[in-house]
Chain A
Amino acid sequence: MAPQILTLDALAARVPDGAVVAVPPDFSGVALAATLALIARGVRGLHLVGVPSTGFQGDWLVGAGCVVTIEAAAVTIGEYGPAPRFTAAMKAGAIRMIDGTCPAIHAGLQAAEKGLPFMPLRGIIGSDLAVHRDDWKLGANPFADDDPILMIRAIRPDIALFHAAKADRAGNVWIGVRRELMLMAHAARQTLVTVEEIVEYDLLADDATAAGTIPALYVTAIAEARHGMKPLGLRRLYGPDDAALRRYVEMARTEDGFRAWLDGGLPCPRAAE
């Protein structure tokens, strides 16, 4: 079935309470306008999978009470310091964190895209991460003697949610070199994408764009959201809004401040719908 072109709110309505939602890191394609739409509709009980980390998006969703579990290699807002609502929620024991490591999350998704139950991965043995994971099992390389290797269970998200520069009318989505977004779309049951613009030409017609394009067959729905990743920056299109990000970090130091930010100071324009 061809992907549907929806409004931003209609796209956000496709994320049910309790869904396992894969999201990319702050330097990839983060659907922040859609995240605000999700918060506005009061989504609850999300299990976020950071691929391999989450940042401002995860912090907003935790602060708004939308999240019960985060599975990620890190929750990081980089140079802006500790993610304020995530850190507060962890100290309060209010959310569950499934700590992982970047390549294990990629490997779990790669297993899913291949239809495999697990993927072996080097490293990790002896890390306390493994102690807390019943979805990682120590196995053995069947082609060698005495070569222990970790098995990572497949990660099959209900939904992949991300932002990209453009889609075409058929629902093909151009992601360029940010191919973790391709991996997410391959692994997830449904893929919801916001884009800066919907173009009137076929992204698959020219190999120069086709090579960086997720074919529509993996895409469930798209919505146009111009500046849909602000206040973060979108690769080669716009830079981060440093003042808006700093203002968030300042306000979100307290629960009340976060609520005030959410009520009054939304830093990104709601998308044209």
Chain B
Amino acid sequence: MSVPTCQPEELLIATVATMLDGLGHIAVGAASPIPGAAALLARARGNGRPAISILGAVDENAFTDGGKELFDCAAEGRIDAFFLGGGQIDGEANINLVGIGNPRQPKVRFPGSFGSAYLYFLVPRVILFREEHSPRVLVSRVDYISAPGWSAPNVYRPGGPYALVTGRCVFAWQKETHRFRLASVHPGHTVDELRAETGFDYDLPDTVPATVLPDAATLSLMRGRVAGEIARTYPGFAARLWNVAAAA
């Protein structure tokens, strides 16, 4: 069976979903349509598991105890995976969500750290996700550490980074060495290109596989059920990618 052409966003959704299969509960932050769709894809093929909590959504969010509940839930170990981005991300997995330059009068100001400085410590599998893969974003050292990639041994930290997924590749996080390793390169991109577009140093294996394209069944599930479900929270995203409206 021939696989229909896969859009770049569909590859990212499928790639992230493979990191979520089999987990119990995934939380997704606001304004995160690709991680949200990945979580819904994992649920669709996992017979309702993992459970999903999309923050700020009316659907796909069962929390009833206000804004603090996500954080209490994470602290009790009830959330298995979460997503963080960053205006800057460096090779030690430090993330900057605050800005560039003097924080009192920055050259560039990002929205702010949100819950990153907490959830990065407490959620076991934090997937760093940033579509833009450029030396501007992936820097040798962040200007401001909203949340550190690793901590001293005496700091309580059951959680931390798991992988960094960009529009060009997947990096796996190596907890022991506090470094990324290039895990796969998305089709259409090259190892040499990544070297030029990445501002931090990382481990490069002798052979790096291509990121696996979603098969026809996965694409079908994504374009059908998942598209309708994600449209309820991200109608603009679902309309742009799949030309679908929200499922009833």
- B-contacting 9-mer, from A1-9, A145-153, A190-198: A145-153
Chain A contact residues (Cβ within 8 angstroms of B): what range?
35 or more
- A62-102 to B contact mask, C-beta < 8 Å, 1/0: 00000000001111101100110011001111001101111
Query: Which of A73, A91, A147, A235 touches B109 (beta carbons < 8 Å)?
Result: A91
Q: How far is the CA of A236 from the CA of B58 in the complex (A)?
A: 8
Give CA–CA (A91, B101) in the complex, Å: 10
Q: Which residues of A contact B119 (CB under 8 A)?
A: 123
A77 nearest in chain B by CB position: B111
Interface pair B118/A121, CB less than 8 Å apart: yes
Decide yes or no whether B144 CB sits under 8 A from chain A: yes
B199 at the interface (CB under 8 A from A): no
**Chain B residue nearest in CB terms to A96:** B104
Interface size class of B (residues with CB under 8 A): 35 or more
Q: Are B155 and A102 in contact (CB under 8 A)?
A: no
Q: Is the interface of B mostly helix, strand, loop or mixed?
A: loop
| Cβ of B93 under 8 Å from chain A | no
A79-B31 contact in complex given A96-B104, A177-B63, C-beta closer than 8 Å: yes
Within the complex, the shortest CB–CB distance from A187 to chain B, in Å, comes to 12
Set of chain B residues within 8 Å of A236, measured between Cβ atoms:
58
Instruction: Collect the chain A residues with CB atoms within 8 Å of residue B117's CB.
Output: 101, 104, 123-124, 127, 129
A73 / chain B contacts, CB cutoff of 8 Å: 112-115
Within B34-62, the residues touching A (CB, 8 Å) are 56, 58
Task: Give the residues in chain B near A126, CB-CB below 8 Å.
Answer: 145, 148, 151-152, 155
Given contacts A127-B148, A149-B156, A179-B66, contact A78 B30 (CB under 8 A): yes
* Set of chain A residues within 8 Å of B151, measured between Cβ atoms: 125-126
In the complex, A52 has a CB within 8 A of chain B: yes
* Listed stretches B20-28, B67-75, B201-209, B212-220; interface member: B67-75
- Contact in complex: A103, B156 (CB < 8 Å): no
A121 contacts across to B, CB distance below 8 A:
118
Among residues of A, the one whose C-beta sits closest to the C-beta of B105 is: A93
Cα(A132)–Cα(B125), bound, Å: 28
Contacting pair A183 B145 (CB below 8 A): no
Let me know if B122 is at the binding interface, CB within 8 A.
yes
Q: Tell me whether B67 and A147 are in contact (CB under 8 A).
A: no
B147, CB-defined interface residue at 8 Å: yes
Please, what's the 1-or-0 string for A146-184, where 1 marks a CB less than 8 Å from any CB in chain B?
111100000000000000000000000000011111110
Q: CA–CA, A103 to B123, complex, Å? A: 14
Whole-angstrom distance from the CB of B89 to the nearest CB of chain A? Answer: 15
Asked if B177 is at the interface (CB within 8 A of a chain A CB), the reply is: no
Contact of A53 with B112 in the complex, beta carbons under 8 Å: yes
Contact check, B112 vs A177: say whether CB atoms are below 8 A apart: no
B105:A90 contact, CB within 8 angstroms? yes
Cα–Cα, bound, A124→B98 (Å):
14
Please report the C-alpha to C-alpha distance between residue A83 and residue B113 in the assembled complex, in whole angstroms. Answer: 15
A28 interface hit (Cβ, 8 Å): yes
Most A CB within 10 A of own CB, among B30, B64, B67: B67
B31 touches A78 (CB 8 A): yes
Per-residue B-contact encoding for A232-243, CB less than 8 Å = 1, 0 else: 000110000000
Given contacts A101-B115, A123-B122, contact A82 B109 (CB under 8 A): yes
Query: Contact at B66–A183, with CB atoms within 8 Å?
Result: yes
| C-alpha spacing A124/B75, complex, angstroms | 13
Q: B99 within 8 Å of A by Cβ?
A: yes
The answer, yes or no, to whether A128 is at the interface (CB within 8 Å) is: yes
Across the interface, which residues of B come within 8 angstroms of A104, CB to CB? 117-118
Please measure, in the bound complex, the distance between the C-alpha atom of A75 and the C-alpha atom of B114, giving whole angstroms.
9
**A110 touches B (CB below 8 Å):** yes
Since A73-B112, A101-B116 are in contact, a sample of 4 more A-B pairs with Cβ atoms closer than 8 Å, ordered by chain A residue number, is A53-B111, A73-B115, A101-B115, A124-B118
11 A-B pairs (CB sep. < 8 Å):
A53-B114, A74-B97, A75-B111, A78-B30, A86-B109, A96-B104, A127-B148, A129-B146, A147-B156, A180-B68, A183-B68
Residues of B within 8 A of A (CB): 30-31, 56, 58, 63-68, 71, 75, 97-99, 103-107, 109-122, 144-148, 151-152, 154-156, 236
Closest 8 CB pairs of A and B: A179-B66, A74-B112, A93-B105, A123-B118, A123-B121, A103-B71, A180-B67, A27-B56
